[in-house]
Amino acid sequence: MKTLILNGSPRKNGDTASLIEKITEKIVGEYRIVDAYRCNISPCFDCRYCWENSGCVINDEMQGIYKYIQECDNIMIASPLYFSELTGKLLDVGSRLQTYFCARFFRKEEPIIKSKKGAIVLVGGGDGHIDTAYSTACTLLHHMNCYNIHEVVYSHNTNEKPAIDDENALLGLNSILDFFGNKE
């Protein structure tokens, strides 16, 4: 089993990272974490190469991610909330999924044959509005051929209580592991 984890947090030891670490401690199989703030992935600049060609003209770390997306079984998006949305750097990475959109809608091709399971982990200390971020994350997952998506796991009020101490979030992570087919 292979799992791709897209980490939208700028903080190496923050709440999002602590929940990702909890998942990776128990996950069975291979996993790859894409750290949106530390990877060499440029955002889409709308060159329109992918309107007529498969892949992306930008030669950066995303090329390896495209390959991993093809192979993996599960994809998890984990992000803090910034103004009730995924972080900007994670959206930069997500913009590079434009090639999959163009394959389907312009070139009439199916870019990813293998279906995947998806999960979303959101962390926030703000107003608790997760609908926009959840919707965006689902859209990104759909473009990576994830339509079987686990119920969102969300830790709120992290200004007062660290996510790693949020019992509901920890239960949600265990549920994600089970959903992904984790067999210890």
DSSP annotation of 138 reads: H
State how far Cα 101 lies from the chain centre.
Answer: 17
Nearest-angstrom CA–CA distance, 148 and 35: 24
**Distance from the first to the final alpha carbon of the chain:** 12
Lowest mean pLDDT among 130-134, 156-160, 176-180: 156-160
The reported pLDDT for the residue numbered 26 is 95
Q: Region 11-31: what's the mean pLDDT? A: 96
168: tokens are 């509901």
Percent of the chain with pLDDT over 70: 99
The reported pLDDT for the residue numbered 183 is 64
Q: To the nearest 5 percent, what fractions of the chain are helix, strand and coil? A: 40, 20, 40
Give the model confidence (pLDDT) of 90-139 as tens digits. 999 999 999 999 999 999 999 999 999 999 999 998 777 899 999 999 99
Cα three-residue angle 172-178-183, rounded to 5 degrees = 140
- Residue 71, classed as helix, strand or coil, is helix
Q: Region 21-50: what's the mean pLDDT? A: 97
Nearest-angstrom CA–CA distance, 136 and 94: 9
Say which residue the tokens 């399971």 belong to.
117
User: Average model confidence (pLDDT) for the chain?
Assistant: 96
Non-local (6+) Cβ contacts of 14 within 8 A are: 80, 123
Specify which residues 76 forms β-bridges with. 5, 119
User: Position 1: which residue type?
Assistant: M
Q: How confident is the model at residue 184 (pLDDT cuts 50, 70, 90)?
A: low
The reported pLDDT for the residue numbered 57 is 97
Residue 144: pLDDT above 90? yes
